[in-house]
Structure 1
Amino acid sequence: MDIDSFWKLIEECRRQARGRDEQLVWLRDELSWRPLTEIVQFQVRLDEVTREAFSWELWAAAERIFGGWCSDDGFCYFRLWMVGIGREAFARAVIDPDALADTPEVQCLVGRPRELWNDDWPEWESLDYVATEAYGLLTRADDDCGDAFYEAADSEVGAVGGSRGPRGEQWDVRGEDEAIRKLPILSAMFPLRPLVR
């Protein structure tokens, strides 16, 4: 599965199912009809594209949307969510994180209290497990198939250097002047509440 096939599958998933839960079921079922190597390659491509979004600028965009803070795990799940908004929106946001403001998925959050975001919360942790689940369905493994799956994924990738930090320079999204300069639209859409002491 090359990168174009990966994105074609993501776009088809978006067309075929509504909501993340339905999309995961559709994607898992679709993957489980494919050869094991393609399932593994799906995970490898997913890891590649989420690595493309591993930048301080996008992390700041996530922090702005989330109200001023985003954990390491939260940013990982945010990047998986970005895959789910589609190739075009993903690519624009990697180049210009403020472009996330143009997506319906972000626009529907504006003005709503975060505690009411529920299924609209911009994270999609489960996407990271869908290939493993499909692999397990296909191998009919009664026990955890994760080891075999990740060994196959590692051999597909080959020897790669250790994990690197995010690209770019870290900055504090709570600094309003800098946030307005770097993320003008998202800063206007998601104003930070002053800290109450």
Structure 2
Amino acid sequence: MNEESFEDFWSLIEDSRQRADTRDARTDLLRERLAQRSAQDVVRFQIDLHRVRQRVDTWSMWAVAEQIHGGWCSDDSFWYFQFWVVGLGREGYERVLADPDALADEPELKRLTGRPMSDWEDDEWPDWESLDYVAAEAFEKLTGEEEGLEEALDAEGIALPCNPEPSGEEWDVRDPAEAARRLPRLSSMFPLPERDAG
């Protein structure tokens, strides 16, 4: 990983976190900032985004997403949850990477505790789908090429996945007892429903 571009990546993420108060506003800000860069900078941002996202594509993080989603986290939900974790910024991301249960400290999650999911506002959900598209949109704005980013990545021999491919120890993330053992704080905040005895 190019360390200089990696620092720039986190600088852009942090800047969007500091200067915008909704995910849509953060996306707009990132798109505008990237569209003022070179096409190669936008390609590098997408590559760096994929690399940091991939590090939280683990069974432990899927278990966290299951907790928060009440035991009903789909592939898509987990995919966009990973981008939300990246959106926490470098410090939060690294803390959660080291200890997934540390997400219990995040104010964005604390606000959801004890509230039914049906009451969560769209911008409160722990996902950031549009972060997955922001580089492609910036590349198109910069170059006028609709599929330009994908073609640029192909030219570098880079194929990015579009679904979770979790790594690490696989365990039954929907087992309330196992989740409580591995993620005690999040299990307390977002208890999984008990399974039927059948």
8 Å CA contact retained: 1:41, 1:156 = no
Counterparts of 2:156 and 2:98, CA distance in 1: 28
What is residue 59 of structure 1 aligned with on the other side? 62
Letter paired with 2:153: A
Q: How many residues align?
A: 192
Please list the CA deviations of residues 160-179 of structure 1 after superposition, one character each: whole Å capped at 9, or x if unmatched. 9xx99321122223322211
Per the alignment, residue 85 of structure 2 pairs with: 82
Q: Name the CA distance, whole Å, in 2 between partners of 1:79 and 1:100.
A: 12
1:6/1:156 CA distance change after superposition, 3 Å: farther
* TM-score with structure 1 setting the length: 0.89
Letter in 2 for 1:193: P
Cα distance in 1 between the residues matched to 2:188 and 2:26: 31
Structure 1 residue runs without a partner (length 5+): none
Name the structure 1 match of 2:46.
43
Show the counterpart of 1:8.
Answer: 11
Q: Give 1:175's aligned residue.
A: 175
What secondary structure does 2:133 align onto?
helix
The offset of 1:117, in angstroms, is: 1.3
Give the structure 1 partner of residue 136 of structure 2.
132
Question: Secondary structure of the equivalent of 1:180?
Answer: helix
Mapped contact 1:43–1:153 kept (Cα < 8 A) = no
CA distance in 2, matches of 1:70, 1:192: 12
Alpha-carbon distance between aligned partners in 2 of 1:171 and 1:93, rounded to the nearest angstrom: 19
- Residue of structure 2 in register with 1:185 after alignment: 185
**Are the counterparts in 2 of residues 6 and 42 from structure 1 also a CA contact under 8 Å?**
yes
Q: Any stretches of 5+ residues in structure 2 without a counterpart? A: none
2:61 matches 1:71: no
Which of 15, 22, 34 pairs up with 1:31? Answer: 34
Please show how residues 146-165 of structure 1 align to structure 2 within 5 Å: 146=147, 148-156=148-156, 158=158, 165=165
Q: Provide the C-alpha distance between the structure 2 equivalents of 1:87 and 1:78, rounded to a whole number of angstroms.
A: 16
2:25 aligned partner, one-letter code: E
| CA RMSD, Structure 1 to Structure 2 (Å) | 2.3
How many angstroms does 1:102 deviate by? 0.8
Partner secondary structure for residue 99 of structure 1:
helix
Q: Which amino acid aligns with 1:153?
A: L
Once the 2 structures are TM-superposed, how far is the Cα of residue 93 of structure 1 from its aligned partner?
Answer: 1.1
Q: Judging changes above 3 Å, is the alpha-carbon distance between structure 1 residues 16 and 157 closer, same or farther for their aligned structure 2 residues?
A: farther
Give the TM-score of the pair, scaled to structure 2.
0.89
In the TM superposition, residue 86 of structure 1 has moved relative to its aligned partner by: 1.1
Judged with a 3 Å threshold, the aligned counterparts in structure 2 of structure 1 residues 115 and 88 are, in CA distance, closer, same or farther, namely: same
Rate the CA distance shift 1:136–1:165 in 2: closer, same or farther, 3 A: closer
Provide Cα deviations, 1:55-93, integer angstroms capped at 9, x if missing partner.
000000000110012111111100011111111111111
